């Protein structure tokens, strides 16, 4: 059956849990030197309209690690840059590849490609969501701190794509989520409202970073200026004053709180060098887990 991963909502709670289980298993298998050929003979196309280090390389490495092949296309090198309709792009690409991994601006691009594609479309980040990131982040939290439904997770900073996907994760995985965002930088209101109505535990929006981290087992941070918002950088630097993850803020959190950053990090802005390089920050394990998670996603969507 054709399945897409446009946002976490494309899967059930059980299926999302299965991605985590499988990614943890694949990680152990890789450490033990187990080789896979499950996707031998399959090819995925990566269409990226924004830059990427981790997501691109971890998807490519995941696909090769499963015996498959990858074709990478930057947005500007395709006819999309010359306004070829998405519905044509989707139908043409689906004749050549077994899955499409897409990083773009509007969520509508991913939705439209999925509508017309006869192969799975995977969202590798839009302005609205970053679902694959959050699956590997949840995996990292479980690895470090155990069952996630018992934990309190904080988000400090911009109510951006990554924050929106964390809200959806709270809905499915059942943890308590407190987001501290400055006024004017809240998460998507529809996602927040839906998350709140469906979640078993509270999803709280506050203005004070100190309040958000006070009882947090996990603190999440991301850049203040996302890709595509470069023109807003000065206004954002001013708006996020006081939202930096630094030793003073961590002093307000429990002693065993861990810090997640999906990277890339801007040291001296949303996080200090000291915190990023400290033992509390698990950003590099988090980055590694993207590859294991992408294998689990590709196996299910392309292999099944
Ligand atoms: N975390 C993340 O998506 O990183 P990239 O932008 O490097 O892919
Ligand atoms: N919110 C960031 C995430 C980067 C992985 C962005 O969209 O640029």
Mean pLDDT of 252-272: 98
CB-count exposure of residue 109 (10 Å: 0-12, 13-18, 19+): buried
**Residue 239 Cα, ligand 1 centroid: separation in angstroms?**
24
CA dihedral angle for residue 239, residue 211, residue 269, residue 177, rounded to 10 degrees: -100
Say if residues 159 and 181 touch (Cβ distance below 8 Å): yes
H/E stretch holding 69 reads strand 69-74
* Mutate-to-test residue for ligand 1 from 48, 49, 55, highest number of ligand atoms within 8 A of CB: 55
Check residues 115 and 79 and name the one with the higher pLDDT. Answer: 115
> Is residue 89 over pLDDT 90?
yes
Is the CB of residue 223 below 6 angstroms from any atom belonging to ligand 2? Answer: yes
> Is residue 11 over pLDDT 90?
yes
Q: Which fold has domain 8-130+287-303?
A: Rossmann fold (3.40.50)
**Residue 106 Cα, ligand 2 centroid: separation in angstroms?**
13
- Give the contacts of 120 (CB within 8 A, at least 6 positions apart): 2, 3, 4, 5, 98, 99, 100, 301, 302
Distance of CA 150 to the CA centre of its chain: 21
Separation CA 192–CA 212 (nearest Å): 16
User: Does 133-283 match 8-130+287-303 at the fold level?
Assistant: yes
Separation CA 53–CA 103 (nearest Å): 12
Q: φ, ψ for residue 6 (rounded to 5)? A: -90, -40
**Residue 264 Cα, ligand 2 centroid: separation in angstroms?**
8
Is the CB of residue 137 below 6 angstroms from any atom belonging to ligand 2? Answer: no
Give the gyration radius of the chain's Cα atoms: 19
Whole-number mean pLDDT of the chain? 97
Q: Which fold has domain 133-283?
A: Rossmann fold (3.40.50)
Mean pLDDT of 61-88: 95
Q: What is the pLDDT of residues 129-173, one digit of tens each?
A: 999 999 999 999 999 999 999 999 999 999 999 999 999 999 999
> Is residue 291 over pLDDT 90?
yes
> Is residue 304 over pLDDT 90?
no
Is the CB of residue 24 below 6 angstroms from any atom belonging to ligand 2? Answer: no
Q: What is the pLDDT of residues 178-217, one digit of tens each?
A: 999 999 999 999 999 999 999 999 999 999 999 999 999 9
> Is residue 28 over pLDDT 90?
yes
Is the CB of residue 7 below 6 angstroms from any atom belonging to ligand 1? Answer: no
> Is residue 289 over pLDDT 90?
yes
Nearest ligand 2 atom to alpha carbon 263: 5
Helix/strand/coil (H/E/C) assignment for every residue in 231-254: HHHHHHHHHCCCCCECHHHHCCCC
**Residue 77 Cα, ligand 1 centroid: separation in angstroms?**
20
- Give the contacts of 172 (CB within 8 A, at least 6 positions apart): 8, 13, 16
Check residues 151 and 75 and name the one with the higher pLDDT. Answer: 151
The pLDDT value recorded for residue 75 is 85
The pLDDT value recorded for residue 96 is 98
Separation CA 72–CA 284 (nearest Å): 24
> Is residue 260 over pLDDT 90?
yes
* Mutate-to-test residue for ligand 1 from 58, 135, 139, 263, highest number of ligand atoms within 8 A of CB: 263
> Is residue 105 over pLDDT 90?
yes
Residue boundaries of the structural domains of the chain: 8-130+287-303, 133-283
Write down the pTM of the prediction.
0.97
> Is residue 247 over pLDDT 90?
yes
The pLDDT value recorded for residue 142 is 98
**Residue 11 Cα, ligand 1 centroid: separation in angstroms?**
22
Nearest ligand 1 atom to alpha carbon 58: 8
**Residue 263 Cα, ligand 2 centroid: separation in angstroms?**
8
Say if residues 282 and 258 touch (Cβ distance below 8 Å): yes
Mean pLDDT of 251-273: 98
Beta-strand ranges (E) seen in 168-263 are 176-180, 203-206, 218-221, 258-261
Q: Say what angle helices 161-173 and 189-198 make with each other, to 10 degrees.
A: 10
């Amino acid at each position: 059956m054709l399945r897409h991963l446009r946002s976490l909502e494309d899967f059930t709670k059980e299926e999302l849990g299965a991605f985590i289980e499988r990614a943890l298993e694949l990680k152990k298998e890789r450490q033990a030197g187990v080789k896979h050929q499950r996707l031998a003979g399959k090819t995925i196309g990566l269409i990226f309209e924004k830059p990427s280090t981790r997501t691109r390389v971890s998807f490519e490495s995941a696909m090769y690690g499963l015996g498959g092949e990858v074709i990478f296309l930057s947005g500007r090198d395709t006819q999309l840059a010359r306004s070829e309709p998405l519905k044509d792009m989707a139908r043409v690409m689906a004749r050549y590849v077994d899955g499409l991994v897409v990083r773009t601006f509007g969520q509508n691009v991913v939705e439209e490609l999925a509508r017309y594609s006869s192969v799975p479309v995977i969202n590798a980040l839009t302005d609205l969501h970053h679902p694959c990131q959050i699956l590997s982040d949840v995996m990292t939290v479980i690895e470090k701190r155990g069952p996630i439904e018992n934990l309190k997770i904080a988000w400090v900073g911009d109510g951006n794509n990554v924050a929106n996907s964390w809200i959806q994760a709270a809905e499915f995985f059942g943890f308590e989520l407190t987001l501290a965002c400055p006024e004017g930088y809240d998460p998507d209101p529809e996602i927040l409202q839906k998350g709140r109505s469906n979640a078993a535990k509270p999803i709280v929006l506050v203005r004070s970073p100190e309040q958000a981290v006070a009882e947090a087992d996990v603190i999440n941070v991301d850049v203040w200026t996302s890709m595509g918002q470069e023109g807003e950088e000065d206004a954002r630097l001013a708006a996020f004053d006081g939202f930096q993850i630094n030793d003073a803020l961590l002093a307000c959190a429990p002693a065993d709180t861990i810090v997640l950053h999906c990277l890339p990090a801007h040291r001296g802005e949303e996080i200090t060098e000291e915190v990023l390089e400290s033992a509390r920050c698990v950003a590099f394990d988090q980055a590694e887990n993207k590859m294991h998670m992408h294998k689990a996603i590709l196996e299910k969507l392309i292999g099944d």
